[in-house]
């Protein structure tokens, strides 16, 4: 099976970028880049990584786009992967796998500048459709991965992911600074017959979706008023 990998990148001007992208070897927390390498190193012999693509957002560093900077950072730090306890056994006395890993990194394709996660998914699906890729893995930080999965499902429902492509999401061990995995909340529309909220209008996803179109001032007001309501009504 030929697979493709879409790796999401993040604002390279963020002071915490290295933690998100690289992680923390001392605590064995793999960021997106070591997670990519782990996937490549653990790949079974009957699976071949055909293409890896990284798109870019609007940020730049050292006159490099997000994608180019991320790729260069990984190339410059490949020799430090063994600092992660979980990766060290995969690299020990295995020059063949390390050489293959280096080739994969050198051959990473840099895509165009895109702003939205959905645009990355659609563009990646089109990119992989030009080759024999049958499965696609998205790699994203733990805070972003749940949204990547939701956007992927939406893209498939809209027909922008070819039917022959099987997609999955792989989360890194790192979250956005100051957050943890449980801070990302997923709301489903009530659908069980015995749920007292089933059929009630409006439902939570419908109401909360409008949050993103609010002004920053109205977002703060919404959150403060909602927090007060919850504190007054929490059982």
Write the CB contacts of 186 (distance below 8 Å, at least 6 apart in sequence): 146, 150
pLDDT digits (tens, 9 = 90+) for 152-194: 999 999 999 999 999 999 999 999 988 888 888 888 888 888 8
72 or 1, higher pLDDT = 72
Give me the residue label for tokens 């997609």. Answer: 167
32-41 helix and 66-77 helix, angle to the nearest 10 degrees: 60
Are 100 and 94 in contact by the 8 Å Cβ rule? The answer is no
Check residue 83 and give its pLDDT: 96
Number of Cβ within 10 Å of residue 16's Cβ equals 13
CA dihedral 87, 91, 96, 99 (to 10 degrees): 70
Determine the average pLDDT of the residues in 56-66.
Answer: 95
> Nearest Cα to 148, choosing from 6, 18, 50?
6
Check residue 1 and give its pLDDT: 84
Check residue 9 and give its pLDDT: 92
Give the chain's radius of gyration (CA, Å). Answer: 20
User: Residue 162, exposed/middle/buried by CB under 10 A (0-12, 13-18, 19+)?
Assistant: middle
Check residue 41 and give its pLDDT: 92
- What residue ranges define each of the domains in the chain, with the CATH number in brackets? 2-178 (3.40.50), 187-233 (no CATH)
- 45: confidence class by pLDDT, cuts 50, 70, 90: confident
SS3 168: strand
Angstrom distance (rounded) from CA 54 to CA 113 = 10
Q: Encoding tokens for residue 42?
A: 């653990």
Check residue 189 and give its pLDDT: 87
Provide, for the chain, the percentages of residues in helix, strand and coil under a 3-state DSSP scheme, each rounded to the nearest 5. Answer: 45, 15, 35
**How does strand 48-56 pair with strand 135-140?**
unpaired
Number of Cβ within 10 Å of residue 46's Cβ equals 6
């Amino acid at each position: 099976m030929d697979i493709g990998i879409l790796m999401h990148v993040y604002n390279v001007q963020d002071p915490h970028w290295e933690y998100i992208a690289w992680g923390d070897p001392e605590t064995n927390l793999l960021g997106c880049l070591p997670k990519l390498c782990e996937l490549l190193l653990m790949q079974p012999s009957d699976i071949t990584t055909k293409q890896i693509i990284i798109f870019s957002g609007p940020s730049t560093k050292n006159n490099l786009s997000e994608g180019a900077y991320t790729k260069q950072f990984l190339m410059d730090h490949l020799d430090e992967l063994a600092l992660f306890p979980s990766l060290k056994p995969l690299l020990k006395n295995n020059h063949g796998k390390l050489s293959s890993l280096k080739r994969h990194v050198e051959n990473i394709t840099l895509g165009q500048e895109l702003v939205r996660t959905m645009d990355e998914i659609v563009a990646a699906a089109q990119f992989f459709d030009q080759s024999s890729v049958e499965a696609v893995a998205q790699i994203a930080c733990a805070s972003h991965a749940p949204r990547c999965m939701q956007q992927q499902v939406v893209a498939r429902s809209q027909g922008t992911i070819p039917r022959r492509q099987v997609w999955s999401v792989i989360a890194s061990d790192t979250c956005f600074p100051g957050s943890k995995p449980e801070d990302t909340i997923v709301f489903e529309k009530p659908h069980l017959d015995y749920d007292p909220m089933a059929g009630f209008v409006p439902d939570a996803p419908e109401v909360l979706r409008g949050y993103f179109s609010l002004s920053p001032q109205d977002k703060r007001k919404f959150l403060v008023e909602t927090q007060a309501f919850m504190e007054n009504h929490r059982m």
